[in-house]
Amino acid sequence: KNKKISIAIDGPAAAGKSTVAKIVAGKLGYVYVDTGAMYRAITYKILKMKIDIKEESLLRQLLSETNIELKPATNGQIILLDGKDVTNEIREAEVTNTVSSIAALGIVREEMVLRQQQMGQDGGIVMDGRDIGTHVLPHAELKIFLLASVEIRAQRRHLENVQKGFPSDLVKLKEEIALRDKQDTEREISPLRKAENAVEIDTSNLSIDEVADEILALAMERMEEV
């Protein structure tokens, strides 16, 4: 009883994946892996080093030389890129607007998926992203697909920005989120979609705690089953 399971949480941008995944992982004493942060970190490095992504061998070398660490912290998670804290930098607009095109590259995905599967190999993990249930952890005992309308998702991000004192434009946010969703859904390799056996939760009218509780209840059920 109480075998450590794997929980995959997928869904479009700002559906509440990372917020809820952190809570669920905390309550279960599991490791939380934010795979979006990994794609953001590599995007940040590519932009910073002005790497031409059409140069496949350069890109491969860059990937093999890049160290990305996700470290738990009191207020969530710290992202270390080659030992340097880039937690805030990877949320900047330039990265946000570029990440989906970098994440569509086969070379990049192969490497990231491999690393994510290594992190998840012992279970006791909550991983969020776009292709976790379909591709990274296809055998996860619990798969969740979070949804909310684009209006609500943009409003949530906007509120989050305002609270943090960041500049924020609701109309632009909505456009950015819709474009990223389109790119993530329409790409050829591991596009964003709900895994066949995933439980869909529309969070539009749910609080963070309501979503977390629903996932925790499902997790308890699955633990009994294994």
Binding-site residues for ATP sit at 11-19
Q: Is 122 in the site for ligand CDP (CB under 6 A)?
A: no
What is the x/- site pattern for ligand CDP, positions 179-218, by CB under 6 A? -x---x------------------x--xxx--x-------
Q: In what order do the strands lie in the sheet with 31-34?
A: 31-34, 125-129, 6-10, 142-147, 199-202
The answer to the question of residue 125 lying near ligand CDP (CB under 6 A) is no
Run of H or E residues at 71: strand 68-73
Binding mask 25-64 for ligand CDP (x = CB under 6 A): ----------xxx-xx------------------------
Nearest to 222 by CA among 195, 206, 198, 193: 198
DSSP 198: P
The DSSP annotation for 79-137 comes to EEETTEE-TTGGGSHHHHHHHHHHTT-HHHHHHHHHHHHHHTTTS-EEEEESSIIIIIS
Determine, following the binding rule CB under 6 A, whether residue 100 of this chain makes contact with ligand CDP: yes
Least distance (Å) between residue 8 CB and ligand CDP: 10
| Residue 176 in contact with ligand CDP, rule: CB under 6 A | no
Q: How far apart are CA 109 and CA 190, in angstroms?
A: 9
Q: Does 111 bind ligand CDP (CB under 6 A)?
A: no
Which residues of this protein are in contact with ligand CDP, per CB under 6 A? 11, 13-19, 35-37, 39-40, 99-100, 103, 129-132, 156-157, 160, 180, 184, 203, 206-208, 211
